[in-house]
């Protein structure tokens, strides 16, 4: 859609990002007559568009293809007259004043002004940087055991990482998979002691310290990996059904540096139990403010919260 706005028109609700959080926010904002405009960014639909199957979202008993799911979200938002613009936001200037005007700059150099902004830019996983890693996303390579572990039930899998997230992934997979290899670059865990203790009690988790994955094996999907132990200088090949990369996520908050309060990991800080950020009239939803859950359903929930928080904000002006 081509954006047509009257000169100097001030919007009620600009939504930056188009994953489950962004579309959920749009539906609620539209129903509250806030006339939302979504700027989709460079990946319309967010990370779910790169997922083959969504099997754990409420209301889809047979599961649904990730791309189809996001198309449905878009159609639903459009049904409530949400304007969806396929452009990226490159810069923001956010007002410190209650009732103030926020300025949103687009990649076509236009500037849009709005009294309300909902941020739903999400996060992106850290990659290993090896061949076939991106090619096999959804074809054996995953960044979420809760999302994709079911597809590897009673099979052998591997998890990469030594922090809390990696050990949580390995613990979850150990309950449904036959064997779980936990591959750690260092010779120690970075995870909390309680998680380490839980892992040590699992007979089907095999820990490989001092190790890196050097190659992904397979033609059309993941079949195995090659591992190099840099302490013993040895190579090893294991055949697995799934590879879960858990070396961290990067929130898409670069354009909000010096504009919003971020935590030490770069996530937008919000008021506890709310989506309220450090700037009045600006709200954050989805993975951009959630380093822990990173699920489509929780993102959609916070998108709803952001729209409701924005509506309450307007009532307080």
- pLDDT, average across residues 284-312: 95
> For 204-215, what is each residue's pLDDT tens digit?
999 999 999 999
Contacts of 141 (CB under 8 A, 6+ apart): 132, 133, 216, 222, 242, 243, 245
Give buried/exposed letters for 239-274 (b at 16+ CB in 10 A, else e).
ebbbbbbbbebebbbebbeebbebeeebbbebeeee
The reported pTM is: 0.80
> What 3-state DSSP class applies to 195?
helix
Q: Which helix (H) or strand (E) holds 308?
A: helix 296-315
Look at residue 2 in the predicted model and tell me its pLDDT: 40
Would you state the structure tokens that stand for residue 180, as one six-digit string?
A: 């779980």
Positions marked catalytic: 144, 147-148
Look at residue 1 in the predicted model and tell me its pLDDT: 41
Banded pLDDT at 50 (limits 50, 70, 90):
low
Look at residue 178 in the predicted model and tell me its pLDDT: 97
């Amino acid at each position: 859609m081509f954006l047509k706005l009257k000169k100097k028109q001030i919007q009620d609700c600009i939504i930056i990002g188009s994953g489950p959080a962004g579309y959920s926010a749009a539906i609620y904002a539209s129903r509250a007559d806030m006339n939302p405009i979504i700027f989709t960014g460079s990946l319309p639909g967010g990370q779910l568009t790169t997922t083959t199957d969504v099997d754990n979202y409420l209301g889809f008993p047979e599961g649904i293809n990730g791309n189809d799911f996001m198309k449905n979200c878009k159609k639903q938002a459009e049904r409530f007259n949400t304007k969806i613009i396929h452009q990226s936001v490159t810069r923001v200037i956010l007002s410190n004043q209650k009732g103030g005007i926020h300025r949103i700059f687009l990649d076509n150099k236009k500037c849009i002004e709005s009294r309300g902004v909902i941020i739903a830019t999400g996060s992106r996983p850290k990659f290993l940087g090896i061949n076939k890693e991106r090619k096999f996303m959804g074809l054996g390579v995953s960044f979420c055991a809760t999302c994709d572990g079911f597809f590897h039930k009673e099979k052998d899998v591997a998890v990469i990482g030594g922090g809390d997230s990696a050990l949580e992934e390995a613990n979850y997979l150990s309950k449904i998979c036959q064997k779980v290899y936990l591959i750690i670059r260092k010779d120690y865990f970075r995870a909390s002691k309680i998680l380490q203790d839980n892992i040590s009690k699992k007979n089907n988790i095999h820990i490989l310290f001092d190790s890196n994955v050097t190659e992904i094996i397979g033609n059309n999907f993941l079949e195995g990996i090659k591992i190099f132990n840099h302490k013993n200088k040895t190579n090893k090949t294991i055949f697995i059904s799934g590879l879960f990369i858990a070396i961290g996520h990067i929130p898409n908050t670069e354009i909000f540096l010096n504009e919003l309060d971020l935590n030490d990991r770069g996530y937008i800080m919000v008021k506890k139990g709310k989506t309220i950020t450090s700037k009045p009239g600006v709200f954050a939803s989805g993975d951009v403010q959630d380093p822990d859950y990173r699920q489509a359903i929780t993102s959609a929930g916070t998108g709803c919260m952001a729209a409701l928080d924005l509506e309450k904000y307007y009532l307080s002006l």
